[in-house]
Amino acid sequence: MGSSYAVAVFGAYGHTGRFVVAELRDRGFVPILSGRDAEKLRALAARAGLDSRPASVDDPAALDRALAGAAAVINCAGPFAATAAPVIEAALRAGIPYVDVAAEIEANVDTFTHFADRARAAGTVVVPAMAFFGGLGDLLTTAAMGDWTAADEAHIAYGLSNWHPTTGTRVAGKVSRERRNGRRVRYTNGRLQYHDDDLPALQWTFPAPAGNRAVVGEFSMADVVTVPSHLSIPEIHTYMTVEAARDISAPDTPAPAAVDERGRSSQTFLVDVVVKAGGVQRRATATGQDIYAISAPLAVEAVHRLLAGQTRTVGVASAGAVFDAPDFLQALSTHISFDLSR
């Protein structure tokens, strides 16, 4: 599938957006380039030989023109606190599925809160956080759960070799910190809770060969929204390797630098998910290269399945709720190594 479908990419010229455009073309889709910066769009369109349609999020008519004739839209433009709602509105008007790569916790909460009923009534699907943070962790947690209908707790540990953030990541992080007044967020006792205490320093034993690593606890990302949106797990604990946590918090950490023909950085990742219920635990892991690059096949595979009707629900839904999680992860075998232990 792909050759007869046009897919709009909002924020196509951004770091993740360019990966998404390339992945769409590799899969046979025809990207429609859109975003707020007309000059950057024209430059990208000229290089790629694609249609460009500038649009501002405060101009509904321009967004409608950008999505005209598209079978789906992928929103890669942060901060999603500003872009998600207007682009979802345009997708609903066009009657097409919406996917984004938002890692902003509050923006994802907004999407579930404000669009669940409308998307369901329209019979379409809105998938927020269909990216490394939010989507991958949710798919792994869902796969690990298997036939369990509930678990006592889920642990999602991120083993990143480093984290050189994009400008978009820094801007989105700033917006999120401002929205929560500098507080931190965790998911405990079945709900999101905001707090001011320091993040704990812990140890996490990753599968071999990574082994025991120092991690920062309660390093909450979009998984604390996506996972509990459909799985009955009252405690969700997240961890980040200390090297990556230091990188993202340091103001002088450089942006990612390409080391291969696909534009990926040298960064490697290992996502290790453990779910526990009644003293029994199950595990799912994924390894790969470059957290920004991997967001592209995640989002494009989601679009492929949405257009092919390989879905389980309508409305606003996380990756694990709308797709067959193990099958989805196995379909990404050229991008990630996936292991499931039950």
Q: Mean pLDDT of successive 10-residue segments in the chain (342 residues)?
A: 83 98 97 97 95 97 98 97 98 98 97 98 98 98 97 98 96 92 94 92 94 96 97 98 96 97 97 97 98 98 98 98 98 97 73
Angle between helices 291-308 and 15-26 (to 10 degrees): 50
Instruction: Give the homologous superfamily in CATH for domain 6-131+295-326.
Output: NAD(P)-binding Rossmann-like Domain (3.40.50.720)
Tell me how many degrees the CA angle 270-187-114 measures, rounded to the nearest 5.
105
Cα–Cα distance, 228 to 309 (Å, whole number): 24
Q: Is the dihedral of CA 329, 334, 335, 340 positive or negative?
A: positive
Give the pLDDT score at 341.
Answer: 84
CATH 3.30.360 in the chain: give the residue spans.
Answer: 132-290+334-341
Q: How far apart are the first and last CA of the chain?
A: 33
Is this structure's pTM higher than 0.85?
A: yes
Rounded Cα distance, 288 and 337, in Å: 7
Helix (H) or strand (E) holding 292: helix 291-308
Beta strands in the chain (DSSP E): 6-10, 30-35, 52-54, 72-75, 98-100, 125-127, 153-160, 184-188, 191-195, 201-205, 212-217, 235-241, 268-277, 280-289, 315-316, 336-341
Look at residues 169, 158, 157 and name the one whose alpha carbon lies nearest to residue 269: 158
Q: Are strands 235-241 and 6-10 parallel, antiparallel or unpaired?
A: unpaired
- Pick left, alpha or beta for residue 165 (phi over 0 → left; psi -120 to 50 → alpha; otherwise beta): beta
Supply 103's token pair: 């890692």
| 321 contacts 130 by C-beta, under 8 angstroms | no
Please give the structure tokens belonging to residue 194: 């905001």
Alpha carbon distances (Å) from 136 to 301, 332, 336:
12, 11, 11
Q: Which stretches within 123-241 are classed as H helix?
A: 137-145, 167-179, 223-226
- In the structure encoding, which two tokens stand for residue 314, read together? 């309508």
How much is the pLDDT for 1?
53
Which CATH class name applies to 132-290+334-341?
A: alpha beta
Residue range(s) occupied by CATH 3.40.50.720 in the chain = 6-131+295-326
Task: Write the secondary structure of 250-281 as one string of H (helix), E (strand) and C (coil).
Answer: CCCCCCCCCCCCCCCCCCEEEEEEEEEECCEE
The encoded tokens of residue 246 equal 């230091």
Residue 7: name the closest of 334, 254, 306 by CA: 306
Residues 6+ apart with CB under 8 A from 108: 80, 102, 128, 129, 134, 222, 225, 226
